[in-house]
Structure 1
Amino acid sequence: MDEHKQKQAASQSHDQHMNHDEAGHAATGHASHHEQMVAEYRKRFWIVLLLTIPVTMLSPMMMMLFGYHFDFPGANFVVFGLSTVIFFYGGKPFLEGAWEEWKNRSLGMMMLISLAIVSAYIYSTFTAFFIEGSDFYFELATLILIMLLGHWIEMKSQMGASKALEELIKLMPKEAHRLDAAGNVEEVSIEALVPGERILVKPGEKIPLDGKIYEGLSTVDESMLTGESVPIEKQPGMQAIGGSINGSGVLKLTVEKVGNETYLAQVINMVQEAQQQKSKSQGLADKAAGWLFYIAVTAGLLTFVYWIFAADLAFALERMVTVLVIACPHALGLAVPLVNAVSTSIAARNGLLIRNRTQFEEARNVDRIVFDKTGTLTEGNFGVTDILPAAGVSKKELLTLAYSAESQSEHPIAKGIVRKGEAAALTLLPVTDYQNLTGQGLQVTVDGMQVAVVSPGTMDERGIAYNKETFASLAQQGKTVVFVLKEGILQGMVANADIIRASSHEVVTALKEQGIEAIMLTGDNSRAAQYVGEQLGLAQVFAEVLPAEKSKHIAALKAGNKKVAMVGDGVNDAPALAEADLGIAIGAGTDVAIETADVILVDSNPKDVLTIITLSKATYRKMVENLIWAVGYNVIAIPLAAGVLSNQGLLITPAIGAAVMSISTIICAVNARLLKID
């Protein structure tokens, strides 16, 4: 097993022990922290805007530009005082951020902004009181004002990236209607409920916790949890997921899971963990952002040195400040995590739970996808495939006899025949005298007639003739054939098999079109496996493979640098899932604590594999778009800020540089939010 994935699984397993309330509160706290930051930047922006108005009016540049004169004794002290308040109050978030970056040895955007505003403030103070020259108070005030506005808008944009996670958190109701032994209703918080207690869910309410329905009929909307858009009909004996929305009926449930064991709590934890994971792309972006700081500082110093000789101190300082401000390691640092946050949330809304971001991103490069057969490419249940009546007997008559005879049996083949009879709306005839013929079949009395459903071996033992060519053909396809006798006379054959999912054909065809090999790896018998493989057009079929040997097959398929994904059961196929480059656990339902899977499919629909590949490609494409923008922006913006085109009349002021830098980051955030899958 891959060592990295072992460690990843162990780490995730450890994190699963987090308390549900802590998980919910942590997520809510994360959202409220963002909201507090937005409110803080907004408040500081409006206050700084009010203080900037008089500073602007007293600016010599503005007086010259608009042709007015506004001066009075002590005006320079007023401008100094207002600018000092703007510097310390408006610049506080940036100065504090720079200190944190210094302490964490991860110098970046906040340090660049702080170097710029500190340089402008110190120089302006000296020119106001000690040396000759023009102050930068107007530039300082507008620079801080625009930086506050940019961060305010940026924080709002970033909040959109985790909106889907917040929507999941909102699905958690705070109260429930608990039923006592007498059936009386008591309003309690969901934290007070324990497994085994009974609760009432009224029409239109959210189901508080995971449980089993014991009374009531209704439809339930699980779209926000599993991606299933159609409301699901619920009846006694069925599971209900906490956070789903009840329809028009009243339901009574027995609570089965509480706290961090509920499906919704586990999904929230997984989404949070996946959003916090750093992929290879993120690591490269972080390194690039770190280098960009030193590039910007070096460029700023070289710019200052050049212009102090080519022009004067004031112009040189203005160019240096603009270079420091316009450089944007923040956009580079956010290019990947914002996209990750959006894609993880999209996946969760579609019933795809990402446990390992690095492996998920590799889904776009998969060369081979290996499917388990039973329950993955097939439904995992026996179903009737062929009804072959004897001469003079209709298909309906044959199926009615088989349906009635098997109605009291629990055998998987019997259940398949019963499902077929129910789907055909056949009349169930009265059955008596049920006898189980060990190893042979069964015998009953149906509507006063002796009816037997028996195996081929029994037919041979009794010397009853049947079409052996037809039987051999069905058996060659891996089908199980039973014979129906009435009063000892053959009525016909009924063939059964594990039914191939309707969506499996579509999946295999779509994978072929993308140049991806679809392979089956199963412990089932060779004939059944080969038949399914032929029907679906699979590239390779490996049958009669023991669970412990599946991982060896996966390792062999990875030869030649091939990227291999494995789709299978999260428990039985655990070693193979761990060995694969991308392990996909299918049919997890509400049991999402599968440690060896990189991605978990809540539903048992193999079409979700196509969704994983599509989302992985779309995610990578958005990452590349953001990274190209962030890098390209800096390559162009820094030289312009340094004044390389000043002779052509193109000169960027510090305030414009701040605006451009903020816009650059906002573009990355907005582009991330445009991520979607068809």
Structure 2
Amino acid sequence: MPSIPTAPFAPSLPATQAVTAGPGPFTATPSDSASDTASDCFHCGQPLNGAAPLSAALGGQHRTFCCAGCQTLAQTLHAAGFGHLYSDVTRFARPLDAEARRQSEPIWAAYDTPELQAQFVRELGDGRCEITLAPENIRCAACAWLIEQHLGQLDGVESVVANVATRRVIVRWQAAKQGVAALLGSVADIGYVAWPFEVSRTDQQDRRERRGLLMRLAVAMLGMMQVMMYAWPLYTHEATIDPGQLQLMRWASLALTLPVVLYSASPIFGGAWRSLRRRHMGMDVPVAIGVAAGFLASVAATVRGVGEVYFDSVTMFVAFLLLARYLELRVRQASRSGAEMLARQLPATCERLGEAGGQGERIPVARLRAGDRIRVKAGEIVPADGVVVAGASEIDESMLTGEARPVRRVAGDTVLAGCFNAASPLEVRIDRIGAQTRLAEIVAVLDRALADKPRLAQVADRVAGWFVGILLAMAAATGLVWMLWIDPSRALLVTVAVLVVSCPCALSLATPAALAAAGAALSRRGVLLTRAHALETLASVTDVMLDKTGTLTEGRFALVATQTFGVLDAVACERIAQALERGGEHPIARAFTELHAAEHGPAVAVDDLRNVPGQGLQATVDGRTVRLGRPAFVMGLSGASDQPGHACGGHPGATEIWLGDGDGILAAFQLADIARAQAPALLRQLAALGVRCHLVSGDSPAAVRWWADHFQIDIASGAVTPEGKRDYVAALQREGAVVLAVGDGINDAPVLAQAQVSIAIGSGAPLAQAGADAVLTHGGIAEIATAIATARRTRRVIRQNLGWALAYNVTAIPLAATGFVTAWMAGIGMSLSSLFVVANAWRLLRTRDATRMGDS
């Protein structure tokens, strides 16, 4: 099951309460005289309501308080030097009132359950526990101080540390003396709403990795600056410096370089050792050899007092290399699939209703079971997949589908875990929980894609491995040539420069950094790449084969035309048909029931409804018998023998439904599939990208030709079986085409497998079972063109990165081998080369509309 998020959604509080009304734990008042009156408490501003007030002198003025707590807090704050917080522009927040506390207490109590204790509370041993709280309205150092003082006075609390910068409060206490609910309630008593905070394991690992790399980078940067301070006089005035002072500066440089090599460069040496143990020449090998050789040679020269030292080059190289790796780390973390972000959408608790509805109980989401009925209030997250059984609201599904606009959900509609209820309360019957939810399926698909390595990345890794081997041979040859024939005193320095100036890092990062950034950008737009090769193949697509039903069209019936023949107008006839079909589950019934009653007035009363299988419906409406269904069945009610005509429009493949009474035919309705809203945009963008479109469907040739003309698609085929679609794609491939097949993932399984790359519409099949190379999680099919354009842009970036890495190495290595590039220059050049590759890939995190991306 996806991990539980940082906090649930608190119940809405009245606007008059400063807990949520103001920007922080203070409520603005017009002036001191306006808020500090005989009828208001000086500290919290609540009316005294006739109770005997408490009073105290603060700052030389007489103040009144509603209770001893407010008086004590105000006196303590003044004694601690925070009296300025009672100025004309600030006031402390009020504690929760009785109604807000009544709403919050069930949620607080849920955090004392074993499920959420295990999720948020860390056991320290000896009955001691630790929890991280996230106050919603902590604003300044005084807020942190107040929370620390208040919680620190609770029985069993050992320590409280509040951090204003991170807005987190870490509490350690004896579990036997306090519960989490008591801690949350105590924080609310002083005007702060707080919730347990959980950092996911991935976040913890990311933060540790960033923090460790930053610490190593800081040490390297400090060492580099200090060593350069000693090296600069050697470069400019070495001949005038006393030999004793010169040796002293060398020893000082050695002392400053030592932590850089042993601490900052330890990941480099560790990576090189792991590569050598696996008998693989990784990118860390030449770097580690260069750093070690330069440092050891400098140590030997320092100990002997004779020879060149390269401490400045070593520290500079390590510092710039770590800077490049830090930026690469940030890109890699920013390019993560988004699975963790999606998984954190689930709330920690939910309100489960009883069998009879009414008041529910607040339980951990982990206790939900299929069949449970829950209430999802406005402003809350849906905790599991289910069906709306009562209520209507607007649901924000952007985290799952990429669609920014909320969608309306009413009784009978499906709602998905992780979606935000934006408008009104809903009662939902839970169908799928945990790993069965659509949210979990998306996470599984993304994880599967991340586990694969694209072919381009595999090739780049192999090339980098050969490159490292050749580089080591070139460095050895260079050192030997300088030692025997050119200048033995510079042999080591030139060899180190050759090892350092090369950039296998840029070569290895060129492809994976770009692919990761592009994949992350597409996942945010609802295009999930489920196979490693998808992005690479999409860049080469020349033809797109589109299915009709469910791809270019919605795949559902809709009323497209109404023709009347009797005394009733079209609206009246549609109201009767809607009333007859109310409650039906077949596609024709849903086409009529989707006609909203609000548009056509009050519902029509229907009596004696009878279903005649294979023919239609018969009922009594306003005292007269009517029929809805096949023409012969409807005309049999009046005894008419001639059909009055056809419904207007002549839409090929449309279904005609007739309505009549004892006097004859009243109306004919034409039901047909409707086009997806983004179909024209998709076809227009594909044309702009130079991609040929093929409409291939199992529908009748006439219907397919009509839709092809409607969409202005030149190539279309109808009455094609799934096997025929596969043969169609195979024929295109024999002509040299690279085909993208788009379908629903079920009926189109053969063609999706045959095409070089395929995209399934996510609504057509469970994501975890989709056999396509990519899945579109929503109906915005224009993103298919965006995926192709992004893939082409990614290919350009990869070529730019590989071209840069090749050109840099071809230029820099000969310069280093001939002595024109020193070790410190080589360190800067190598780092800048890696930075260029990473920064170029970073641009792919921002996707653009397909028509603006151009071709390769």
**TM-score normalised to structure 1 length:** 0.85
Alpha carbons 1:204, 1:246 under 8 Å: kept? yes
Distance 1:571 1:520 in 2: 18
Letter in 1 for 2:209: M
Question: Structure 1 residues 311 and 179, CA, compared in 2 at 3 Å: closer, same or farther?
Answer: farther
Give the Cα separation in 2 of the matches to 1:299 and 1:628: 21
Q: Is the 8 A contact 2:337 2:523 kept in 1?
A: no
Aligned partner letter, 1:45: L
Moved more, 476-485 or 625-634: 476-485
Question: Greater helix share, 1 or 2?
Answer: 1
Separation in structure 2 between the aligned mates of residue 110 and residue 534 of structure 1, nearest angstrom: 59
Give the C-alpha shift of residue 186 in structure 1: 3.3
Note if contact 1:405-1:446 (Cα within 8 Å) is conserved in structure 2.
Answer: no
Q: Distance in 1 between matches of 2:592 and 2:354?
A: 42
The amino acid that maps onto 1:123 is A
Once the two structures are TM-superposed, the CA of residue 327 in structure 1 deviates from its matched residue by: 0.9
Deviates more, 1:413-422 or 1:459-468: 459-468
1:4 match: none
Give the structure 1 partner of residue 848 of structure 2: 677
Flag the 1:236–1:83 CA change in 2: closer, same or farther, 3 A.
same
Partner of 1:370: 545
2:828 paired residue number: 659
- The aligned counterpart of 2:468 is 293
| CA offset digits 1:300-340 (Å, max 9, x no partner) | 23433444456523323222211211211111111111122
- The amino acid that maps onto 1:186 is R
CA contact (8 A) 2:327 2:838 kept: no
Farther off after superposition, 323-332 or 116-125: 116-125
Per-residue CA deviations over 1:13-53 (Å, capped at 9, x if unaligned) read xxxxxx7569x99x954554343233223223333455556
> After alignment, is 90-99 or 55-64 more displaced?
55-64
1:431-465 Cα shifts (integer Å, max 9, x gaps)? 33334444443333332333333434457885533
Question: Match of 1:593, SS?
Answer: helix
Which AA in structure 2 matches 1:301?
Answer: A
Q: Which amino acid aligns with 1:140?
A: V
1:550-609 Cα distance to aligned partner (Å, 9 max, x none)? 434433443312222222222232222212222221142793112411111212343232
Amino acid at match of 1:655: W
Matched, 1:185 2:361: yes
SS in 2 for 1:562: coil
| 8 A contact 1:400–1:421 mirrored in 2 | no
Separation of aligned partners in 1, 2:208 and 2:662: 81
The reply to whether residue 144 of structure 1 matches residue 336 of structure 2 is: no
Q: Kindly report which structure 2 residues correspond to 1:79-118, keeping only aligned pairs within 5 A, or say none.
A: 79-118=253-292
Tell me, in whole angstroms, the C-alpha distance in 1 between the residues paired with 2:576 and 2:556: 21
Q: Give the direction of change, closer, same or farther, for the CA distance of 1:628–1:30 in structure 2 (3 Å limit).
A: farther
1:92-146 deviation digits (Å, cap 9, x = unpaired) = 2211111011123331321111111221123223333458422223333333343
2:298 to 124, 127, 136: 124
Give the CA deviation at 1:402. 4.1
Deviations 1:141-178 (A, max 9, x none): 33334333443344334333228455334434444455
2:587 is aligned to 412
How many Å apart are 1:242 and its aligned residue?
A: 2.2
Alignment equivalent of 2:810, drawn from 618, 635, 639? 635
Report what 1:15 is aligned to.
none
Matched to 1:659, the amino acid is: I
Aligned counterpart, 2:431? 256
Q: Does 1:207 align with 2:207?
A: no
Identity of aligned residues (%): 28
- The alpha-carbon distance between structure 1 residues 310 and 32, as it changes in their structure 2 partners (threshold 3 A), is farther
Give the total of aligned pairs.
649
1:220 aligns with 2:395: yes
Structure 1 unaligned residues grouped into runs of 5+ = 1-18, 647-651
Check 1:397–1:91 CA distance in 2 against 1; reply closer, same or farther (3 A cut).
closer
Higher relative contact order, chain-length normalized (CA < 8 Å, sep 6+) = 1
**Secondary structure class of the residue paired with 1:382:** strand
Any idea what SS the aligned residue of 1:242 has?
A: coil
CA-CA distance at 1:401 after TM superposition = 4.7
Of 219-228 and 144-153, more deviation after overlay is shown by 144-153
For 2:210, the equivalent position in structure 1 comes to 38
Deviation sequence 1:250-290 (CA, Å, 0-9, x none): 44444433333222233223223323422222122222212
Task: Kindly state the Cα deviation for residue 227 of structure 1 after the two structures are TM-superposed.
Answer: 0.4
Residues 62 and 45 of structure 1: CA distance in aligned 2, closer, same or farther (over 3 Å): farther
Distance, in Å, in 1 between the alignment partners of 2:399 and 2:551 is 24
Distance 1:213 1:413 in 2: 22
Alpha-carbon spacing, 1:169–1:431, altered in 2? closer, same or farther (3 Å): closer
Q: Which residue of 2 aligns with 1:64?
A: 237
What's the counterpart of residue 837 of structure 2? 668
Q: Secondary structure at the match of 2:734?
A: coil
Range 210-219 or range 289-298, more displaced? 210-219
Query: SS state of the match for residue 768, structure 2?
Result: coil
Shift of 1:507: 2.7
Q: Which amino acid aligns with 2:214?
A: R
Post-superposition shift, 1:79?
A: 4.7
Alignment CA distance shift 1:175-1:541 (3 Å) = same
Query: SS state of the match for residue 490, structure 1?
Result: strand
Aligned partners of 1:63 and 1:69 also within 8 Å? no
Which whole-Å CA distance do the structure 2 matches of 1:282 and 1:537 have between them? 39
Deviation string 1:333-364 (CA, Å, 9 cap, x unpaired) is: 11111122222222222221211131342123
Compute the TM-score of the two structures, normalised by the length of structure 2: 0.68
Asked whether the equivalents of residues 63 and 70 of structure 1 are also in contact (C-alpha less than 8 Å), the reply is no
| 3-state SS of paired residue (2:362) | strand
Alignment-mate amino acid for residue 376 of structure 1: T
Take 1:243 and 1:401, find their aligned partners in 2: how far apart are those partners?
A: 39
- Specify the alignment match of 1:244 in structure 2: 419
Q: Structure 1: which amino acid aligns with 2:342? A: L
Structure-2 change in CA distance of 1:446 and 1:237 (3 Å): closer
* Residue in structure 1 matched with residue 666 of structure 2 by the alignment: 491
Q: CA–CA distance in 1 between the matches of 2:812 and 2:204?
A: 34
What is the CA-CA distance between 1:80 and the residue it aligns to? 4.3
